[in-house]
Structure formats: structure tokens, C-alpha cells
Amino acid sequence: MRLAYLIRDVIPAITVLLYMLRNRIYYDLKPFVPRAWRRAVRRRLAARQRAKARGTWPIMPGSERPPEGWLGWPEGKKFAVILTHDIEGKLGLERCRSLMELEMEMGFRSSFNFIPEGSYRVFASLRHDMVQNGFEIGVHDLAHDGRLFRSESGFRRQAIEINRYLEEWNAVGFRSAFMLHNLDWLHRLDIEYDLSTFDTDPFEPQPEGRHTIFPFWVPAPAARQSEVRSQRSLGGSQQSGGLTTDEALNSEVSTINDSRSGYAELPYSLAQDSTLFLLLRETSIEIWKKKVDWIAHHGGMVLLNTHPDYMAFTNGQAERWEYPASMYRQLLEYVAGRYSGEFWHVLPRQAADLIRRRVLTKSFSGERAPVTKRLRQKRAKLWIDLDNTPHVPFFEPIVEELKTRGFPLLITARDAFQVCELAREKQLGCIKIGRHHGKHRLIKGAGLVYRALQLAPTVLREKPILAISHGARSQLLVSNWLRIPTLLMEDYEYCEFPPMMRPSWVLMPDVIPDASLEMPKNRIRKYQGTKEDVYAWKLRPDFSALKDLGLEQSDLIATVRPPATEAHYHNPESELLFERFMERVSTVEGAKVVLLPRNRKQGDFIRARWPHWFIDDRTIIPSKALDGLNLIFNSDLVVSGGGTMNREAAALGIPVYSIFRGKIGAVDQNLNAEGRLVLIKSAGDVEDKILLVKHQRKNVAEVTSTKTLHHIVDQIEEIAERYNRSL
């Protein structure tokens, strides 16, 4: 108990104290240490920190997770781009106009943060020109001496001054010197947003990142608001800090606005120019480009802080502590060229305004995605086996989440149905073991035993404590031989697992009744939602793939998956429904069908048997593989004889009709009962129930959520902890 207390509470407190001490000493000694020495020491330190931070910088895994209820960016843009600058000294001030010109030339605008009581004076004419040209002014610290947050009373005094400059400059944004931050105290500033934090930046004196590439809301604590109110009504009878009663009251009144319920925090997400080019001595913008691509892919916010003080605008060599301004130009060229029309480029105050409006209208809670605090805790290895194509998108977010929570992973994949290619594309980092052994039952059985044997050496070497899969039988088999506990995720209750392949734990959707499984009740875990909900939220819709097929947004697009027609899967009832639907849709004006046959043979057969469906390209069979989720999301309806596709459509809120006529599982029954999926049972249903109308599409964020994912990973974590402790 006592030891746990020591570890949990005392050690982090000491670490924080050490940081504070280090900062205090550093800023006190700074004026007396020659600049060249300081720079040499900082470079040495940075190199060491860079080595230590491998894996969490420049990208912190997990920080790409959008906050719960995130609605995406306005105007349907994929990601956001925000540019900011801190002006450190006279040199920076002199270069402001060159920097503005460079940005304007390329269609960008930015914010300039000035130090109110630093080594230079900010002329009203410069501020005026900036605002006239669409730039923004912000306040950068007060004196830039690293002492802003030393004591609360000191901060209160400085806050009054800062607020004066905010008002005078008509500014609503703030960034502290050296990215020191205390988000609670900042409520005393009259700001709409703060820029003093970052997703990940181990090179700053207060290196705790916010682990998110999204803006978030910092609500003023209710207690503080009422404290202010009561102080006011008491006439300020309380003494605080070194201030007299009147001063304290005045500071409260002037720094806290009752209507101010909080402020937006906009963490910067690209490495600062000084870190990249001066401390780490990078000679290209590769790190910036890679991060931009990653943020764009995940729909986050690119927020960059650069310093004109260090930018050499002359054509000659950059001197001393400087880098060529052309580096910055290259970045802007890269963003504008590669992502033209795809990003929401605004000033920080506009981004803050978006967050405030969403929070006030309650369309977004404003909270950032939860950050796991146990990153450093030692975790034992988990093993995930991917043996079929749908397992890859399903496990991708689970793998990311487990990594974020600090679990080392062993990921194996079977070389079948493009599992390995897909896994490589998603950068899952897996080991390829075993292959596909055909459809014949006996060969299939021997094949899975053989693969279990192939898996054994790797598993013995890696020593995972828990084996996880979505029905990978070879994994279950080898784990049972080697006595490794197994967690089977299943979403169809009619699968059978022979005794040799019984799992230790089952995790399944909560709509499946316990009784349908031959498992002790205490070994069954449930989750809310469907397997497809786990990853549907990751979709970034893109119509261009459909354009390539010759489709227009105005077309009535039906995506159709015929039933399996191979050997024992043969289902004549389902095939009849498919034919009836195709006959119907091919006579509807303006309707287009994207047909996804199970294989080439089936496609050729359909084309030869019903050539009239293909007249005028009314039916299209894509010649190459498409992103299924994206196709579904851009369709007006989906008609399918396959389970995964049906549930993906339901997860995305697209009207979907199942023509599957086998044993319907509880998940599909439930979706049908909830009206999210329509079971088509007869030819009459094809005519009456299937609606051929344009679908009013909603935002992905409105119809999906990360809840199911977190629910599942919580349970995996809980089960894994049991075995971790027993080690």
C-alpha cells in the first residue's frame, strides 16, 4: 500500500520539482553564461533527448485519435493549417515584413506574437499593417524571462499587465516564453486561446506533451467562477498573495469575465524551426513533410511556430544561429501544392472561435481524447494474429490503441487473401507466417494444424502473455498447446470451435446471448456496438475514387455484393433476390450500380449471363480494389449478401439491405430491429422494401464514434493485467 503510494504520488511530484528547479536555475544563470556555451550545451542535450524520444517524437502514437464527438473541420476540409510566429528580439521585428510578404505571395496568413515588455517596442503602424493584410497579433509572454509562472501571486500581477496589452493590441491569443505552461492559471487572462502547449516536444524545458493533434477546450473550473463571484459580493475581504485587498479585487474583476467559460488550447504539432534547424541541425524539411502527411491523413491540425529572428532572408549563407528562410518557403510550397483545396487554413482566433461555438452549443464537449498516464508502466507482450482480410481494418485501431497504452505487441499474419499486403499498407509491422491451403475441408484442417506448428517457434521466442484474434484457429490451437491464455473476439454465434481450439476468454457484442456459447459465464466479456464500429470512425471520405469509375455525385449509387456462389456456400434463395434487385435497379433512370463480385469468375459469369445490366455503364465492376468503407459511404444504398459489408454500411448510417439467407446472427437481427439494416426475405421485399432514393449523407463524425474501440481495448487491458500480475 505504502509503496504503491510512493510510486504513484511521491515520485511524480519529485520529478516535477526537479523540472521546476532546473528551469529556475537555468533562467537565473542564463544572463551570465556566454551564448556560445549555452548553445553548445543545448545541442548536446537535444541530441541525447532525441535518442531517448525515439518512438514518441516527432510523432506520438495515439495523438492522432480525434476527441470524442469531434465533428471534423468546416467546409468539409480534411485537416487544418495554422501558422504562428514568436518575435524574440529586434532582429525578428525587422524581418516581420519580409515574412509577411513571403506568406502573402503563397496565399497564407499567420499570427505574430510579440513580447510586450521585451527588448523591442511594437509600433502601432506595424500592427495596423498586419491586421489590414489579414494577419493576427498575439501576446508572447510579458517580459520573456522564464519567470511568468514562478508563483501564483507573481502571475496574478503579470496577468493584469498582459491583459492590458491584449486589450490595447486587440489581441485574443497568448503564448508563454519557452512554452512554459500552467493551463489552470491562464484563466486569469482575457484570451480566446493559448498556444503554449504541443502534442509532443521533448526538447522544451517543460516537456509534457498534450498527446493530441486536435484543439481542445480548457473549461474554467466552476469553483473558481463561484469563488470570484463570492469575493465580489463580499467586497473583496480576502487577502491574497502580496496584494492589498483592493488590488486583489481589481485584479479579479479585470482578469475574470463572468461570461468567459474557458479558452481553446491549440497545441503546436510541427517541430519548431529552432528545434529542427538550430538544435538538431537538420538540413532538410523532411521531418516537417512527414508530420504534415501524417496529420493530414488523420484529419488533425497542423500548427507551426517559427521565429523570424532565426530566418535568414538574404540569399547569402545563413549566419550564426540562423537558417535559410527558404526552408519555410519549401514547407508552404509543399502544403499548398500537395494538399491544394484540402485544408482549412485560418488564423488561430478563427480556430478558437470554432471550438468555442461548438462547446457553447454543446455540439462538442471540447475534451481531448483521454491520454493514458501509464505509458511508462512495464507491460507484458500481447499477441495478435491476423488470418483473414477483415481482421486488418478491425485490428488496426486496436493495435494503435494498445501501443498508446504501452503494450509491446507481437503481430503475425497469414499469407492469404492479401492479408499481408493490407497489413503492410496500414503499417502494422507484422510477421508473415503460414499461408492459405485451399477450400477442401481436409486440406484446410491439415493446413491450420501445419500453420499452428509454424507459429510455435516465434511464439516461444516472443513469450506473449495473451493471444488475441478474431477467430484465428491456428492461434487458438498453438496457444492451447503452449498454455498461453487466449482471447477470442467473435460476432457470429453460429461458429463452432472444437475443444482443441476453445478460447480462455470470449469478447463479443452485447446483443449475443451468453447461452449461445459453450463457455463458463465468467469467461465471457461483452462490448457495445459492432465489430465494424471499431474502425468506421477512421474513414476520411473521398469521392474521387468514385469519379474514376465514371460516377457523379448526382447519380443514385447502389453498391451491390452478390451472394457467394462457390460450392457449399451456394444459396439459391439469395441468388434469386440478387437477380430480382438487379433487374429492378437497371430500369431506374439515373441509377448506377457498383457491383463487387467475390472473384473474377463470378464477375465474368454475371457479365455473360445478364449483359443488359451493363448497357450504358449502368453497372460497373471496378477493375481494381477500392477502399470499401469509402465506397459504401459515398453510396446511396447497399445491397449485399455478405455480413461485413452490411454491417459497415450500418455503422456509417447508409441504408443497407441484406439478401443473405442463411442463419442470421444476433448482431444482424439487432441491427434489423433497430432499423439500421433491412433483411430482405422475398422477391416481394425486393420491390416493396428497397428504397431507390438519394441518401442525405451526414458527417462521418456524427454517425460514428470511438466508444466501441475504447470499450474493447479496456477489456483487453483488464484481462491482460490478470496475467501480467501473475508473472
- Binding mask of the shown chain, residues 121 to 160, with x at each position contacting Zn ion by CB under 5 A: ----------------------------------------
All three cell numbers of 571: 444459396
- Please name the helix (run of DSSP H) or strand (run of DSSP E) that holds residue 485, with its range, or none: none
Q: How far is the CB of 58 from Zn ion (least distance, A)?
A: 20
- Binding mask of the shown chain, residues 422 to 461, with x at each position contacting Zn ion by CB under 5 A: ----------------------------------------
**Cβ 30 vs Cβ 38: under 8 Å:** yes
Positions in 187-226 near Zn ion (CB under 5 A)? none
Q: How far apart are CA 77 and CA 680, in angstroms?
A: 37
Which is closer to Zn ion, CB of 196 or CB of 574? 196
Give the interface size with Zn ion as a residue count (CB under 5 A): 2
In the block, which residue shows the cell 468567459?
260
Q: How far is the CB of 285 from Zn ion (least distance, A)?
A: 21
- Binding mask of the shown chain, residues 153 to 192, with x at each position contacting Zn ion by CB under 5 A: ------------------------x---------------
- Binding mask of the shown chain, residues 520 to 559, with x at each position contacting Zn ion by CB under 5 A: ----------------------------------------
Cβ burial of 608 (10 Å; 0-12, 13-18, 19+) is exposed
Which is closer to Zn ion, CB of 118 or CB of 236? 118
Q: How far is the CB of 514 from Zn ion (least distance, A)?
A: 60
Q: How far apart are CA 376 and CA 529, in angstroms?
A: 31
Peptide bond into 205 cis (omega under 30): no
In the block, which residue shows the cell 462538442?
364
Which is closer to Zn ion, CB of 171 or CB of 177? 177
Q: How far apart are CA 393 and CA 504, in angstroms?
A: 24
Which is closer to Zn ion, CB of 307 or CB of 561? 307
Which is closer to Zn ion, CB of 86 or CB of 490? 86
Q: How far is the CB of 271 from Zn ion (least distance, A)?
A: 15
Q: How far is the CB of 305 from Zn ion (least distance, A)?
A: 9
Positions in 380-399 near Zn ion (CB under 5 A)? none
Which is closer to Zn ion, CB of 305 or CB of 640? 305
Cα 278 to its chain centre, rounded Å, is: 30
**Cβ 193 vs Cβ 138: under 8 Å:** no
Q: How far apart are CA 314 and CA 636, in angstroms?
A: 56
CB-based closest residue to Zn ion: 86
Cα 235 to its chain centre, rounded Å, is: 48
Name every residue whose Cβ is closer than 8 Å to that of residue 328 and which is 6 or more positions away in sequence: 102, 273, 306, 311
Q: How far is the CB of 198 from Zn ion (least distance, A)?
A: 14
Would you call 496 helix, strand, or coil by DSSP? coil
Q: How far is the CB of 121 from Zn ion (least distance, A)?
A: 17
Q: How far apart are CA 718 and CA 489, in angstroms?
A: 15
Which is closer to Zn ion, CB of 86 or CB of 400? 86
Which is closer to Zn ion, CB of 145 or CB of 627? 145
Q: How far is the CB of 178 from Zn ion (least distance, A)?
A: 7
In the block, which residue shows the cell 449485399?
640
Q: How far is the CB of 175 from Zn ion (least distance, A)?
A: 8
Q: How far is the CB of 145 from Zn ion (least distance, A)?
A: 11
Q: How far is the CB of 87 from Zn ion (least distance, A)?
A: 8
In the block, which residue shows the cell 431506374?
588
Which is closer to Zn ion, CB of 86 or CB of 636? 86
β-bridge mates for residue 292, sequence order: none
Q: How far is the CB of 309 from Zn ion (least distance, A)?
A: 9
All three cell numbers of 354: 470554432
Q: How far is the CB of 274 from Zn ion (least distance, A)?
A: 9
Q: How far is the CB of 261 from Zn ion (least distance, A)?
A: 29
**Cβ 387 vs Cβ 475: under 8 Å:** yes
Q: How far is the CB of 118 from Zn ion (least distance, A)?
A: 9
Q: How far apart are CA 409 and CA 382, in angstroms?
A: 5
Backbone φ and ψ for 686, nearest 5 degrees, come out as -60, -40
Which is closer to Zn ion, CB of 173 or CB of 485? 173
Q: How far apart are CA 38 and CA 49, in angstroms?
A: 16
139-151: b or e for each residue (b if 16 or more CB lie within 10 Å)? bbbbebbbbbbbe
Name every residue whose Cβ is closer than 8 Å to that of residue 713 and which is 6 or more positions away in sequence: 398, 401, 402, 405
Which is closer to Zn ion, CB of 53 or CB of 143? 143
Which is closer to Zn ion, CB of 130 or CB of 177? 177
Which is closer to Zn ion, CB of 177 or CB of 332? 177
Beta strands 556-561; 136-140: pairing state? unpaired
Measured at the CA of 382, the angle between CA 412 and CA 57, to 5 degrees, comes to 90
Which is closer to Zn ion, CB of 86 or CB of 192? 86
**Cβ 693 vs Cβ 655: under 8 Å:** no
Give the C-alpha distances (Å, rounded to integers) separating 561 from 554, 626, 628.
22, 13, 11
Q: How far apart are CA 463 and CA 639, in angstroms?
A: 44
Name every residue whose Cβ is closer than 8 Å to that of residue 180 and which is 6 or more positions away in sequence: 23, 146, 148, 149, 196, 205, 206
Which is closer to Zn ion, CB of 73 or CB of 112? 112
- Binding mask of the shown chain, residues 75 to 114, with x at each position contacting Zn ion by CB under 5 A: -----------x----------------------------
Residues that bind Zn ion (CB under 5 A): 86, 177
